[in-house]
């Protein structure tokens, strides 16, 4: 079909959105959903093991997988906005009032790590390193918040070093898992 100037009309998925805009909106909604799903899993799998940061294994795996599948440079931030949005309304029963802010900042730190660790060829180790640093930023933010507001955080009871190191280990392992799954799936897809 042609328009009045004689040019071919652009094909669209729907009459409301052009094809590229619909794909962009769908990708943003997917990232927001993954963030909300990751924090919902975090809430439902709360097992009292007294290991600070253990939820980073699943959370960082999902965030890194979503970010590596996305075309956006700031995909981790968008995904963590989905998590923060759900946490903001406190429907999951967390008692940390700063959790939405911490999870948003986690996404920003992860995107900054991805930016600084950017290489020509994706490296699973760098994804894992970025995930460990980003997840380790949570106790850093909590330490700052605790010193400013006096709000006590259970994860800092055994000392800051234990909290920092356990968060790093679980964030590293989760990001390694997520990046490994993506790499394996793309490797199998290319065969």
Give the CATH number, domain containing residue 76.
Answer: 1.10.1760
* Number of domains making up the chain: 1
Model confidence pLDDT, tens digit, residues 2-36 = 545 556 555 554 555 567 888 889 999 999 999 99
Nearest to 87 by CA among 104, 69, 110, 64: 104
Residue 47 in domain: yes
Which range marks the domain in which residue 171 is found?
19-189
This prediction has a pTM of 0.82
Residue with the bigger pLDDT between 7 and 62: it is: 62
Position 146 in a domain? yes
User: Is residue 9 in a domain?
Assistant: no
pLDDT tens, residue by residue, 163-188: 899 999 999 999 999 999 988 887 77
Query: Is the separation of the CB atoms in 80 and 63 below 8 Å?
Result: yes
């Amino acid at each position: 079909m042609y328009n009045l100037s004689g040019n071919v009309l652009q094909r669209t998925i729907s009459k409301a959105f052009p094809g590229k805009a619909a794909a962009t909106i769908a990708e943003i909604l997917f990232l927001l959903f993954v963030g909300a799903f990751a924090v919902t899993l975090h809430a439902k799998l709360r097992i009292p093991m007294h290991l600070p940061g253990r939820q980073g294994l699943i959370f960082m795996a999902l965030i890194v997988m979503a970010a590596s599948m996305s075309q956006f440079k700031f995909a981790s931030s968008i995904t963590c906005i989905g998590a923060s949005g759900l946490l903001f309304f406190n429907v999951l029963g967390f008692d940390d009032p700063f959790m939405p802010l911490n999870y948003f900042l986690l996404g920003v730190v992860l995107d900054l790590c991805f930016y600084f660790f950017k290489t020509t060829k994706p490296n699973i180790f760098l994804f894992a390193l970025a995930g460990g640093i980003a997840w380790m930023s949570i106790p850093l933010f909590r330490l700052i918040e605790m010193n400013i507001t006096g709000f006590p955080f259970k994860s800092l009871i055994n000392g800051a070093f234990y909290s920092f190191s356990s968060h790093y280990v679980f964030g590293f392992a989760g990001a390694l898992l997520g990046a490994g799954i993506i790499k394996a799936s793309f490797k199998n897809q290319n065969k």
